[in-house]
Amino acid sequence: MVDADIYREPTPEEKKDFVDLRSKKSKNVLTKFVEKLKDAEFEYNQARRPFCYRCADLDFKKQYQDKLSQLENTYGEDIQKTITIDVDKIDLKQYANPKAFKFGKWVNNVFKSNKIRVASKKKAVVNGVATEIQYGWTYNLTCQKKGCGIALDILFRDEAAFLKDMGMEEKERDKLLLDNPEHQAMLKEQRLTAVKQQ
């Protein structure tokens, strides 16, 4: 027998207990939150800013379990539980606060790695030869709330702004930016402009 997709409209009696899994109304609280969380993570990654997905997820699941146990205590386990948490009112900005992250890899407040960044490279063909080209740095960050490790790719052109946003002192920033060819080119251009103006 040939496999065939046959679709028929459900009868009114069948529709009585029918839940359309594709409709937005049928999504439960967890599904809505995961969608919002993934959108926020994508947005912060595009902006090259740290975001602790794990902390946001764990905090929401704890809030969800607290509501669930509260309903079980109130109504018992046999009652159908409908948990209402307004996902739209949850503020995820607190999980992207630059002050909530430390540079480097930390475990239980012990510094585990002195490499706060490693070279980000991509493969390219230059003059017919396959080679790797560095386009930026991958910064290792640790969330101070739960110790989550985060690796964030920063392009050369975004590095100075990223370090400033993260609250790094100017001396430390300047040391790190010595390895940034785009930053060095910008400084050279500024020096040339200053000399021409004199």
**What is the arithmetic mean of pLDDT over 155-183?**
84
Tens-place pLDDT, residues 138-162: 888 888 888 888 888 888 888 888 8
Q: From residue 14, give the alpha-carbon distance in Å to each of 10, 57, 58, 172.
A: 6, 36, 38, 67
This prediction's pTM: 0.69
Average pLDDT of the chain is 80
Tens-place pLDDT, residues 72-117: 777 766 555 566 777 778 889 999 998 888 888 766 555 666 678 8
Closest by CA position to 154, among listed 170, 166, 146, 172: 166
pLDDT band for position 4 (cuts 50, 70, 90): low
> Is the pLDDT score of 43 beyond 90?
yes
Predicted pLDDT of residue 83: 67
Predicted pLDDT of residue 26: 47
Within 92-180, where are the H helices? 156-165, 170-177
Predicted pLDDT of residue 66: 85
- CB-side neighbour CA atoms (13 Å) of 127: 0
Predicted pLDDT of residue 198: 72
Q: Which tokens belong to 69?
A: 């146990």
Closest by CA position to 177, among listed 163, 198, 197, 191: 163
Phi, psi (deg, nearest 5) at residue 155: -70, 155
**What is the arithmetic mean of pLDDT over 52-66?**
90
Quick one: how far is CA 3 from the chain centroid? 42
